[in-house]
Structure 1
Amino acid sequence: MRMMIPSCVMDGAQAPFGTSRMRWTVQVVLVLLTCPVSCIADSTTEEDPWPLQHSALGSDVLLRCAVPAEAAGVEWRVNGTSVATALDVLMATEDGLVLPNASLAQEGDYSCHHPASGEALRRIRLRLGLPPGKPAIECWAISYPQTVNCTWSLPADVHLDTEFIATYRHGVWAKGGETECVQPAAGASSCSINDVQLFSITPYVLNITAVNPVGTATSLFHFIVEHIIRPDPPEDLQVSAIPSESKKLLLEWKPPGSWPLPKYFPLKYLIRYTRQGTGSPRTIGPYEQTSFILTGLRPGAIYHVQVAAKDLSDYGEYSAWSPQASGTPWKRR
């Protein structure tokens, strides 16, 4: 029986960079050339009495079973029940059992049996799913200038475990090939680039390849580091009354803990505040310091405050707003 791996792995001319590292992963995705309908070879092992067969949702799935020479056919069961009563739409052929336009309801444990003795001739655990779509990628330099953090997601649920291979290059035609984008765990939907080159006009190219037993998909994401700077929100925002000042509040906060070098790569800050019970908030700034005195406030009113940060050189984008903090100006007792 001849077998092959998907053409995206065999054909180096068509494969995107990064697929050299995924050859060992996708070789487990085998396609039977002799299969007359859509089916994926099972992962048979001597230890597993129910070897897996992965197939694509909506395809005609073939479950193979060799018919004994002395028998006219075999009996098929799913989850221990005869398929004659367990499933509505089936087609038995001399090659095996066909599930036309297979749906998730047809996943299960299939077995074929000798029609006379009932002996199990083969067992198959069928799992159905979809090939992954192209991952949607975001990258942000939240720890500039040290690290770029990237995340991604699939456009739809594929119903199968999917691994992700993450690599990058500095420049489309960079010498030395691709470099691993470090994931926090195998198959994670995020990775980090730690050897960032500052102020380079040559873009980085991130390659994310999604791999599951019925297909693969690749997305590329181009970026220049300074264009994707976005700090995390400022931390530990405090709103305090100022003794003897009935129309002022003292605001104090800290740079985000993920921003590694605030002394050498300072941030600037926007302040957003609103009086409780009123409409739209007011935004002021930017300011370079990590404290500010709000003035002209209404005595006795409650004010809600948030702060956002951005690279002082104006690269990239502002952070999200910090968690809200609240306070009331000083009141004479």
Structure 2
Amino acid sequence: MLEQIHSPVRNSGRLGFQRKDSPAQKSKSKACVCVCVCVCVCVCVCVCVCVLMIYVAIIYPQDPVLRIGSNLTASCWIHPELGVHASSLFWTLNGQQLPSSIYRLLSPTNLSVTLAGLNASRQTSGDNLVCHNHKGHILAGSCIYVGMPPEKPVNLTCWSRNTKDLTCSWAPGGRGETNISTQYKLKYKLRWYGTEKQCDDYTHTHTRTQPYSCSITQDLHLFTPYEIWVEASNQLGRAASDVITLDILDVVTTDPPSGVAVSRVGQLEDQLSVRWEAPPALKDFLFQAKYQIRYRLEDSQDWKVMDDVGNQTSCRLAGLRPGTVYFVQVRCNPVGIYGSRKAGIWSEWSHPTAASTPHSERLMCDSKSSGDSNSTLRRELKQFFGWVRKHAYGCSSMSMKLYDQWRVLMQKSHKARNQVLQGDKS
């Protein structure tokens, strides 16, 4: 049985060059190849041959990390046996050739370049600084990372969905991103006697508009305050956010209300009835829910929000346009869960539910006499009608009953008046 075992070359630099060593050390590396011959299961003979490998060129420093605005002098050293004079070399940065005016010939085998006032790296993977021979072949390369140390993370906010987890989000401090790889760690502990722990379930799809977040899903304690903070670090420094203290019961949110249904209220052309069910996940919890409704016209993006729905699971929308399609959504706030005195956190809105109001039975009449006959009644009832409509928005059962009676009376009055007008015309 014949087996070859290859020992990897000990080399951590780019393009086959070690990093952070002196040029003399960088030019050499050892590679070993071992051959083992097994005569039987118990007898094996291995022979290893190590070869000293010599590299043709290196760049120093290798993969530096620098602050924005810093200056960098890098040197490209070539092995004498290559037979190339350093004056024939040239440099490129991200594929663009650098002017020879910023080169300096240090020796026949060493050419340096000085970059002044470095801008932030285009991406966290760094900028590519490459040394070429006179034919344009790559001899060596290095990545330059240019950025800033992190500033104190801000806007740390946490919420618990149905008390089953605790999710926190935050944003980078200062001007935002550091332009180099930066790690954020969400840490927490029980306020009085807990040991420091770290959140592991991070969201890595953050963008400039979507903050960082992490979810704690295990070993959560109710009725006990937590201390929570965020630590940011990169190769240029570190920073920590302010510590926030919270009880999970004070930051509970829930799923949107279920079973949202929107229907007409008889033939009342300016009303819709909305019904829904409390979030099932909180069915067994002791809490006082609050609800909000919002609605909009089918061809509009402007929502109108009703804030004073209270804790009931039904409501009427009044003062709507006849013969019009409306989209309706509902959301829930589990206020006072297990006696918490905090305001609570609103859930997401339910999926939009559509319904249309009935078409109006009024006839459009152009005659001057019909307008005159209605004008006096409209003036007398305008103030009262406005008051009833205003108070009907609150979903109060008393105001809605009064409003229903008024609308039926108005519809009968309009219908009778239109019949009279039609009779006069005939």
TM-score (norm 1): 0.63
Identical aligned pairs, as a percentage? 24
Distance 1:227 1:331 in 2: 46
Map 1:7-86 to 2 at 5 A: 52-66=63-77, 75-79=89-93, 83-84=98-99
Q: Mark the structure with the bigger radius of gyration.
A: 2
Shift of 1:170: 1.6
Give the unaligned 5+ runs of structure 1.
1-30, 35-45
Match of 2:168 among 150, 154, 174: 150
Matching residue of 1:239: 262
1:88-127 mapped onto 2 (5 Å cutoff): 90=102, 92=104, 96-104=112-120, 108-112=127-131, 122-127=140-145
Shift of 1:102: 0.8
Cα offset for 1:280? 9.1
Compared CA separation, residues 248 and 82, structure 1 to 2 (3 A): closer
Say whether residues 1:198 and 2:222 are aligned partners: yes
- Alpha-carbon offset, residue 264 of structure 1: 1.6
Residue 283 (1) aligns with residue 301 (2):
no
Equivalents in 2 of 1:284, 1:236: separation in Å?
20
Task: Give the conservation status (yes or no) of the 8 Å contact 1:91–1:99.
Answer: no
**Which aligned pairs between 1:134-283 and structure 2 lie closer than 5 A?**
134-155=152-173, 156-171=176-191, 174-175=193-194, 177-184=195-202, 189-194=212-217, 195-200=219-224, 202=225, 204-225=226-247, 226-231=249-254, 233-234=256-257, 237-243=260-266, 246=269, 248-255=271-278, 260-266=281-287, 267-273=289-295, 281=304, 283=306
- Whole-Å separation in 2 of the counterparts to 1:231 and 1:250: 24
Measure, in 1, the Cα distance between the counterparts of 2:214 and 2:299: 43
Q: Displacement of 1:124 after TM fit? A: 1.0
**1:80-101, CA deviations, whole angstroms, 9 ceiling, x for partnerless residues?**
665335xx7x364859433121
Q: Which runs of 5+ in 2 are unaligned?
A: 1-18, 23-30, 32-57, 207-211, 362-426
SS of 2:250's partner is helix
Residue of structure 1 equivalent to 2:333: 310
* 1:134-161 alpha-carbon deviations (Å, 9 max, x no partner): 2224333241322221112224132223
Aligned residues: CA RMSD? 4.6
- Displacement after TM superposition at 1:53 (Å): 3.5
Shift of 1:251: 1.1
Letter in 1 for 2:222: L
Structure that is richer in helix per residue: 2
The answer to whether the 8 A contact 1:142-1:232 is kept is no
The answer to whether the 8 A contact 2:130-2:138 is kept is yes
Q: 1:213 to 1:76 in 2, by over 3 A?
A: farther
